Structure 1
């Protein structure tokens, strides 16, 4: 991958990040992420398809509800929206190629500022799509997925496709059409729907059944338009339980799967799982991975973490090796992702104000994922982790247990078997032993 430099170098003094091994003390080097290392029959690069989240890395300014911007990055200095957008894209591709990231992701309004004029927005986005196409051709970087921001503008305060005002829904459709056109033009491999405000604040003013039916029709219309215009990739739904709404219709993986099944969308849609959204839903990341994998819809991952002391979406970079090792066990046993990759939907902290901090954050996240995958593969190959779980369910592998799984044993038969066999013996689940295996291989 060649490093993309525009007229200006934004990350001066930082060369392309390379793998140097666990003993390296270079903060601008990978210790675990050797993209060519083969694990479970596939290179780390192909397992992860790492992606930079355009919004957090190049739109974030360090502000929060209690204070204004703290980041003063050069790429955000120009007044003209399109010229500023080009500077930002120059900086983004410089960073992406210096990090050796194969992919990037964006919302439409991340790429260039939008106004309230639909036609003008389309022109602005088309200009930047042409610019991005040149960048992709120069560098080999690909678009993992794109999406439309249907939650930030005040018109979407009551949702987009679930809004009680049909005109708001139509505005959302106009944005999605343009975002899909951009995805197709840039050979994007997937497209994501995150219903940031597709939910309700109170049921007192909400017709929930009607809103969910509108959401399904909106997704069908979007899918049909994209397919008609040549999009062959995968559509993703990204679950989140609440925040900013009280309750969102894409609450968690199980909820999304039920929705997709009910409205005949399972053939085209899979799930993009975000770590912090899983924990906000009261689940672990590995639980959500398992739910999606069991349903055959494990599509893509948004990598980040929350803070155990804060019950909100802090979007910190991932660094919990135990959590990710357990997650990678599910990942490997599921055969990996279907269409997507690992997108760093994470932001540097408000007081991490140096451009170099973007590098440290991504290097740490990529190394942690790589080390977790390597550890998980060792556990699967060199310990009795799989054997223990197989033996725990062995009573269903033959006899009455197998007949039950095959659906040939009725309730009367089960009662008779219980009487005949007597009280079952107590068998340990050995949780602590299994947790020790994780730590031993780490």
Structure 2
């Protein structure tokens, strides 16, 4: 045990009337929602990078946090792991997520960095034998180090491509050893700053082959989890190739990977791409590539990816409604890719940020479940498209031609009368459950 969270009790469900800061008011892991325990619906995960590796900087200022595990030795890495697993225990968090660079110090050589990762994975494994927390997904940091300033898979230097590929192999091995449910790739530098020095066709081919190798290795080692891509339109690159769900799906189709790879969708990234979170989830589900979510929010006045904890129940409920309509997460879950504010210096702030976010998500899930169970929106949706269930409409879609449809319109004197979409009525229905 460490003394970092001294005096902070284990957080438990106490109900809406609780007066304690360190209590869940809405997140009851054992409450049954639509036939499933709430914990099994939400599958919460703590993000190692924001909670334990982030120093509290922003684009205009440096470190504000002073943590006893900040340092570049394995002793610091083990101390960080001790604090992390204490926090998982305090929260009752069922999962966590990490990049290799979050958990082990960078060494002078690839071989030494790999040894550091393998050592900390063994340290994690021993802790996971004694606790319930499991690994939702692992990933490789292929964007922070200066070697990746021009990308990893898309780098103009083949040696950087090779270093990145070798790094992914070690991280997939680590994820499998820890029983990870998924493996994620985020192309933070897979894009360009200027077209003046960029060969778009070449970089796409490199990125496609890289992902094919990841899938090939997954099958070779028998990894049963999903491979996930996390879309983002920009930041840090001016333009990133995994811009949004639609772009990722087109890329997967181009390289024959649409049945092999799914998406991990982040709320903040969806907003940066000009979409809503629920749009991206619904689109991914309709394309058969929905996998998991990174739950956070942006400050809508800032215009950049602020990675704040969620606090908007109506907005979050719309996202979970689409998750439920998609059939739930499968191997995915709700990863809090969120960080406390750089002014929030106390250990308690780290705990309370997660407590509040977990309660927001629980309220949102229950509202979404109530709406889905009540069937009001789905009934209205079915009624809106009911005409397409008629035999003539089905035949038109299956085997109609412009000529045959033209003849029918003339013969029947078709003159369609528009019908209301009833948006305001449906919005009122939705607001009744919130």
Same fold, TM-score > 0.5, yes or no: yes
Matched, 1:200 2:200: no
Q: Does 1:413 align with 2:404?
A: yes
CA distance in 2, matches of 1:291, 1:160: 28
What is the Cα deviation at residue 356 of structure 1?
Answer: 0.7
**Alignment partner of 1:174 is 2:166:** yes
Of 229, 239, 255, 1:263 maps to 255
Q: CA deviation at 1:372?
A: 1.0
Distance 1:236 1:107 in 2: 14
- Mapped partners of 1:64, 1:243: distance in 2: 13
In structure 2, the residue matched to 1:312 is 304
Q: What is the match of residue 105 of structure 1?
A: 97
- Which shifted more, 329-338 or 191-200? 329-338
Instruction: Note the 1:237-256 alignment, pairs <5 A.
Output: 237-256=229-248
Whether the 8 Å CA contact 1:322–1:438 is kept in 2: the answer is no
1:14 paired to 2:8: yes
**In 2, Cα distance between equivalents of 1:418 and 1:245:** 51
RMSD of equivalent CA atoms: 1.3
Where does residue 285 of structure 1 map in the other structure? Answer: 277
Structure 1 CA distance, aligned partners of 2:125 and 2:327? 32
Deviation at 1:154, TM superposition (A): 0.7
TM alignment of 1:302-381, pairs within 5 A: 302-381=294-373
Q: Which residue is equivalent to 1:120?
A: 112
Report the equivalent of 1:56.
50
What residue is the counterpart of 1:433 in the other structure?
425
TM-score between both structures, scaled by the size of structure 2: 0.97
- Which among 172, 176, 182 is matched to residue 184 of structure 1? 176
Aligned counterpart, 1:3:
none
Q: Aligned in 2, Cα 1:170/1:93: closer, same or farther, shift over 3 Å?
A: same
Partner deviation per Cα, 1:399-431 (whole Å, 9 max, x = no partner): 3222234x1222223223434243222211111
Conserved 8 A contact 2:72-2:105: no
- CA offsets per residue over residues 172-226 of structure 1, 9 Å max, x none? 1121111111112111111000001001111221111111111111112122223
Structure 1 unaligned segments of length 5 or more: list them.
1-5
- Is residue 298 of structure 1 aligned with residue 314 of structure 2? no
Q: Distance in 2 between matches of 1:170 and 1:13?
A: 48
Length-normalised TM-score, structure 1:
0.95
Q: Is the 8 A contact 1:106 1:147 kept in 2?
A: yes
Residues of 1 paired with 2:60 and 2:239: CA distance? 24
**Matched ranges for 1:142-153 at <5 A:** 142-153=134-145
Q: Report the CA distance between 1:336 and its aligned residue.
A: 0.9
**Runs of 4 or more consecutive aligned structure 1 residues displaced over 3 Å after TM superposition:** 416-419
